Amino acid sequence: MTQEAGGSATTSIQAKVIAEMRARIIGGEVDPGAPLSELALADEFGVSRTPVREAFKQLQTEGLVEIRPRVGTFVTTPSRREITELFEMKELLEGAAARLLAQRGRVPEVDRLRNNLREADAAVARDDREHYAKLVGEFHDLLITGADNSKLEAHYKTLMNQLAYPRLVKTSLDQPGRPLQSDREHHLVLELIIEKDGDSAEQVMREHVRASRRALLAGLPAPGPGPSTDPART
């Protein structure tokens, strides 16, 4: 969804607001649970409340904000449980993508994945976690794109948005030894894809997601961004 990201020159003013807000939330510039004032944002962007309002509406459907009627709009704070659910979905979709890509055979994405891993190896070797994190994101995106199913891709994107994934990846990669293991797992998955072994590719990919989830949770403090910040709820 929201495929307009592809540089549509239309760029209605609200499209900009949506993009900007999404970036801020995913990037962690605004704290989870924080209230988002229509008026404040409208002023900041130099527009009226209307486009901001419509942006909120869409972001809500994407699961990034929560609109409490007559109260306000807040950045969603995924509960521990929701994070688990999101990872369950991530495992499901990425596993399926690996299988589908394997079935497709030799497609451009496979080569791009190979190149990605080449770069990733180098990044790991020199312990450049920042760059590696970026490459990890790219790897997973390529996998999804390679599955060649636009619906899968759309659902995956909302999923990642809700996880605020870019923020999380770094945490998990800060676990000692995790980057190297992650890189190895990526290699294994790609090998299986090239061998057209869809079943195994899915299996391994799913296991990889579970491993990354474990690494992530290990790196998080107690309840993380839990609802503790907002005891007033309910």
Partner DNA sequence: CACCAATCTCTTGCATGCAAGGAACGTTAG
Partner DNA sequence: CTAACGTTCCTTGCATGCAAGAGATTGGTG
Residues that bind DNA (CB under 7 A): 12-14, 36-40, 42, 47-51, 53-54, 67-73, 232
CB of 228 to its own copies, least distance (A): 20
What are the backbone dihedrals phi and psi of residue 73, each rounded to the nearest 5 degrees, phi first? -110, 135
Using CA of residue 144, residue 145, residue 146, residue 149, what is the dihedral sign? positive
Number of residues that bind its own copies (CB under 8 A): 31
Determine, following the binding rule CB under 8 A, whether residue 33 of this chain makes contact with its own copies: no
Shorter beta-carbon distance to DNA: residue 51 or 78 = 51
CB of 162 to DNA, least distance (A): 21
CB of 216 to DNA, least distance (A): 32
Determine, following the binding rule CB under 8 A, whether residue 3 of this chain makes contact with its own copies: no
Cβ within 8 Å of residue 221, ≥6 positions away: none
Tell me the C-alpha to C-alpha distance, in Å, between residue 214 and each of 146, 179, 184, 220: 26, 13, 16, 10
CB of 32 to DNA, least distance (A): 17
Cβ within 8 Å of residue 18, ≥6 positions away: 2, 55, 58, 59
Q: Which of 21, 25, 52, 58 binds its own copies (CB under 8 A)?
A: 58
Determine, following the binding rule CB under 8 A, whether residue 200 of this chain makes contact with its own copies: no
211 binds, among DNA, its own copies, none (CB under 5 to 8 A by kind): none
Positions in 123-162 near its own copies (CB under 8 A): 149-152, 154-155, 158-159, 162
Q: Quick one: DSSP state of residue 175?
A: S
Across the chain, which distance is largest between two alpha carbons, in Å?
Answer: 56
C-beta pairs of 160-163 under 8 Å, 24+ apart in sequence: 160/90, 161/22, 161/25, 161/26, 161/62, 161/63, 161/64, 162/62, 162/63, 162/64, 162/76, 162/78, 162/82, 162/86, 163/78, 163/83, 163/86, 163/87, 163/90
CB of 10 to DNA, least distance (A): 7
- Read off the tokens for 96: 């399926």
CB of 99 to DNA, least distance (A): 38
58 binds, among its own copies, DNA, none (CB under 5 to 8 A by kind): its own copies
Residues at the interface with its own copies (CB under 8 A) = 1-2, 10, 12, 53-54, 57-58, 60-63, 69, 82, 85-86, 88-89, 92-93, 96, 100, 149-152, 154-155, 158-159, 162
